[in-house]
A = this chain, B = another copy of it.
Amino acid sequence: MKTIHWFKPLILLILVAYPAMCVVWPMPQMMSTTSTVLTINSKKFTFQSSSKSDILHQAFERYMNISFIPLGKQIQPQLSESFNVTASSGSLTSLKVNVHSSKEELNLDSVENYTLTVTAKGATLDADEVWGALRGRLETFSQLVEPTESGMFQINETKVIDFPRFKHRGMLVDTARHFLDMEVLYEHIDAMAYNKYNVFHWHIVDDESFPYDSKVLPEVTAKGSFNPKTHVYTADDITKIIKYCRYRGLRVIPEFDTPGHTRCWGRSKPNLLTKCYTGFLPNGKTGPINPIFPENYEFMKTLLSEVHKRFTDKYIHLGGDEVLLNCWKSNPDVRNWMVEKGLGNNISLLESYYESRLLGIASNLGYDYIIWQSVVDNNVKVMPSTVVNVYKGGFPAELDRVTKRNFTTILSSCWYLDIYAYGPDWKRYYSCEPFSFNGTQKQYDLIIGGESCIWTEYVDDTNLISRVWPRASGTAERLWSAKNVNSIALATPRIHDFRCKILIRRGIRAEPVTGPGFCEYEFGM
């Protein structure tokens, strides 16, 4: 009995999709499957494309492994050439990939749409750009393939028409509160790709450490890193991460947060940070970068010029959150300078002054920038192209305000993964809807996506992966799938399956989030 449901309305297609053995996460925009099962002998299966794209062909290699993981451990298939075809409606020997454009720029406007058709007559994947081929053919296709007891694989006849709801689907990773090893970052980036994330927001430095290995400001790294030999990212490391991400369709956006969050930078630069006062005396504490010294803008220019050479994305995140304005206010030199400059005692004007000079430096380097919401909340004048990263509570009202002011925006407020609650707290992330304010279509269009954030006060190599996954998969589906794919009841068995059948089997140490139960093949079994 063969049932076909091509192009039924979305809600029906989702229901139809459930009986299939496969799990696809995040849920495609449109997906239909039939009961026809095709057998795949992984030894004879090929990915085919007329494209010469290195990105595509490297992805072929990766996905030959992860699409065909036999039952049992996470190992590569060792099928013999002779095999018995199990009862099935046909077999599948290749997937043909058509990429219509040879454009391989990876940026906010990269096109990730794809169409995947798997029938007894063959399997094809159409994508406008190579990025859609990565998402579609490779990730979605590989999730559709099921291992069988015979050592063969199978796939249901399937049609997928897919595209992301939001074009910026990022994750902030903080490597300053704890250092993260390259190998752990690679594993994490793999998991991001499996979840169709497309931006690695690298919060590389902060108050606690400066693991960015600067050649132009070596003393800042020497005194600011936990250890300048072992706990830094060299230029070469950064290049490797960017390349690793690019081949998986992820942009890398570095964050150099100023003028706050710079405490350890001051260890090598006595005049970089503002001395905070209690009454008439310095109290021994330091605050934000001191905005009254011209050399501090030179410092930022030197730093950002090097950053610009190492990181290739058009965007940089310039931070701007949690500036201790009271420290600025407490310092008599700062107060005097403000009066001289005609800023009076309006500390917001001082913040504006710092930000406008900083943003000017970044613009001159050719950067577009993202900043935390505080900057525009404090009415600092920024370029119209600025992307505002909303991170505080009460985000619906803030998204409303920011988009009314015509800013492009990304949301992080509800996706802080470091804040951990007992139980299935992935539901919180899953349920957070960016359009939960009463806005116009124009306002909604300005919300280009969002980011999960893993701040690492209590996270390092030991627990990054298990802390983040699959909780961050909740965010991933929210940002990729249609707005109405929002049923916790339907998502619960799917995220369980996605963890067991995709993440765990690919060696990602993802923790259980759906309560008591088991995976057919447990991690490490």
Residues of A within 8 A of B (CB): 176-179, 181, 183-184, 208-209, 226-227, 230-231, 418-424, 456-463, 466, 504, 509-513, 515-518, 520, 522-525
Contact = CB atoms under 8 A, between A and B. Distances in A.
A420 B421 CA distance: 7
B419 A509 contact: no
B422 A230 contact: no
A438 to B, nearest CB: 32
A418 B231 CA distance: 32
A463 B524 contact: no
Nearest to A508: B462
Contacts of A458: 422-424, 511-513, 515
6 A-B pairs closest in CB distance? A177-B516, A226-B518, A208-B516, A463-B466, A463-B511, A462-B509
A448 to B, nearest CB: 29
Given A181-B522, A420-B422, A466-B466, 5 more contacts: A177-B516, A179-B518, A226-B518, A418-B422, A462-B504
A461 B518 contact: no
Given A419-B422, A522-B181, A525-B181, A515 B462 contact: no
A442 B231 CA distance: 54
18 contacts: A177-B515, A177-B516, A178-B516, A178-B517, A208-B517, A227-B520, A231-B518, A421-B422, A457-B515, A458-B511, A459-B512, A460-B523, A461-B523, A461-B525, A462-B509, A463-B463, A463-B509, A463-B512
A178 B512 contact: yes
B462 A511 contact: yes
Contact of A510 (B420, B462, B524): B462
Contacts of A423: 457-458
Contacts of A208: 516-517
Contacts of A518: 178-179, 209, 226-227, 231, 460
A418 B183 CA distance: 28
Contacts of A460: 511-512, 518, 522-523
A420 to B, nearest CB: 5
Contacts of A511: 458-460, 462-463
A192 B402 CA distance: 52
Contact of A420 (B420, B520, B524): B420
A230 B522 CA distance: 10
Nearest to A499: B462
A125 to B, nearest CB: 32
A206 to B, nearest CB: 8
Contacts of A181: 522, 524-525
A525 B230 contact: yes
Contacts of A226: 517-518
A420 B466 CA distance: 14
Contacts of A510: 462
A453 B111 CA distance: 50
A221 to B, nearest CB: 15
A483 to B, nearest CB: 29
A493 to B, nearest CB: 16
A317 to B, nearest CB: 20
A184 B420 contact: no
A418 B511 CA distance: 13
A186 to B, nearest CB: 12
Nearest to A180: B522
Nearest to A458: B512
Contacts of A456: 516
B524 A184 contact: yes
Contacts of A459: 511-512
Nearest to A179: B518
A456 B513 CA distance: 11
Contacts of A178: 512, 516-518
Contacts of A515: 177, 457-458
Contacts of A183: 524
A498 to B, nearest CB: 14
Contact of A522 (B176, B179, B525): B179
A240 to B, nearest CB: 17
Contacts of A227: 518, 520
Contacts of A525: 181, 230, 461
A460 B463 CA distance: 13
A397 to B, nearest CB: 25
Contacts of A419: 422
A522 B418 contact: no
A211 to B, nearest CB: 10
A131 to B, nearest CB: 30
A183 B524 CA distance: 9
A124 B100 CA distance: 77
Nearest to A420: B422
Nearest to A503: B462
